[in-house]
Structure 1
């Protein structure tokens, strides 16, 4: 029996695929891959929704995940990806947009919402920052540090362990070659970086094809 499974990718501009004018980001690469596999005769149809919004923090996620999940709920099953933190940890005027405690609470609320629709939930790590922008004020007045990236990623790992969720560790893969995998702004991947993310994620979605 053919199944129609939905994959929902919640996140910020890195989920959306900003700064990738070639492939449209890692989620769009996965969308094309899933469609190709279906056209080649795979049993299940996996429909992927890119629900990334540039600049969004977990505050936005908490507000919209109940509505988004209800609107896109497949009777055959859902896979949910949650990728946040790069905006939450940014400091503006000395204050983080979403502090670590609130970040933890927000992710936990989102996970509880997601669990109503799926057992297949993946938390996505925050990427490392380029040394060029680490601790420096950006043109938008925000400051991000690699130290904070580690703190917020640890929160994600802990939540994944406590809730028996999957954790996708893009951070470790990027770390050594981050200067060639990140775009000029030092936060978003470039085409090569997004391609690497898709390569890591393809075996995950293949399980549902």
Structure 2
């Protein structure tokens, strides 16, 4: 059996989805259903941690992968940036250059175990919080999201990785796909994410 390991923040974890448990949980159920129907076995691990940035990722990715290393092969998904690019008290949580270095470090560590690596874009935010500090004190803007997404795309191109562009799948209908907080998807949004990711999962079933 192969393993799929999903690293990320609360959006990977599935926060704010009380119906399906988030996009990774939807994929877990899909892979299990396919296995029961006769497909190859693919075990998916949701390793998302709410509030985490790439600083946390580089500290734990090797340990996490050592603990879940399939001899048949591992597929790694890396979904960060929503917390890194947030500004709080006038300071960017993780500056763009540091963000890029952290992602590259994580990719290099993952390559020791992974047969395929997918970098995941940052989602858009709702218009009513774009550039505005919310209750947590964090401020996110479309300009910064696009800047950090460009970094992810550049790394994907430079290191021959896959890029999963959830941003493009969301942006036109973002007000219908985001939760009340304007940052996390709602159950419909998580469903769209799962639909976009299912063709990737099917390649390994």
For each residue in 1:39-88, what CA deviation from the matched residue of structure 2 results, as whole angstroms up to 9, or x when unmatched? 1111x210000000000000000000010010000000000000000000
Q: Determine the structure 2 residue equivalent to 1:124.
A: 120
> Is residue 27 of structure 1 aligned with residue 24 of structure 2?
yes
Q: Determine the structure 2 residue equivalent to 1:94.
A: 90
Q: Determine the structure 2 residue equivalent to 1:37.
A: 34
Q: How many residues align?
A: 205
**Equivalent residues in 2 for 1:61-140, closer than 5 Å:** 61-140=57-136
For each residue in 1:97-145, what CA deviation from the matched residue of structure 2 results, as whole angstroms up to 9, or x when unmatched? 1000000000000000010001300000000010010111110111111
Structure 1 counterpart SS, 2:147: helix
Normalised by the size of structure 1, how large is the TM-score? 0.97
Give the superposed CA RMSD. 0.5
> Is residue 207 of structure 1 aligned with residue 188 of structure 2?
no
Q: Structure 2: which 5+ residue stretches go unaligned?
A: none
Q: Determine the structure 2 residue equivalent to 1:174.
A: 170
Structure 2 counterpart SS, 1:9: strand
Structure 2 counterpart SS, 1:174: helix
Runs of 4+ aligned structure 1 residues displaced above 3 Å come to none
Q: Determine the structure 1 residue equivalent to 2:13.
A: 16
Normalised by the size of structure 2, how large is the TM-score? 0.99
Structure 2 counterpart SS, 1:177: helix
User: 1:76 & 1:119 partners in 2: Cα distance?
Assistant: 10
> Is residue 162 of structure 1 aligned with residue 158 of structure 2?
yes
Q: Structure 1: which 5+ residue stretches go unaligned?
A: none
User: 1:38 & 1:173 partners in 2: Cα distance?
Assistant: 28
Pick one of 44, 48, 62 that aligns with 2:44. 48
User: 2:189 & 2:166 partners in 1: Cα distance?
Assistant: 10
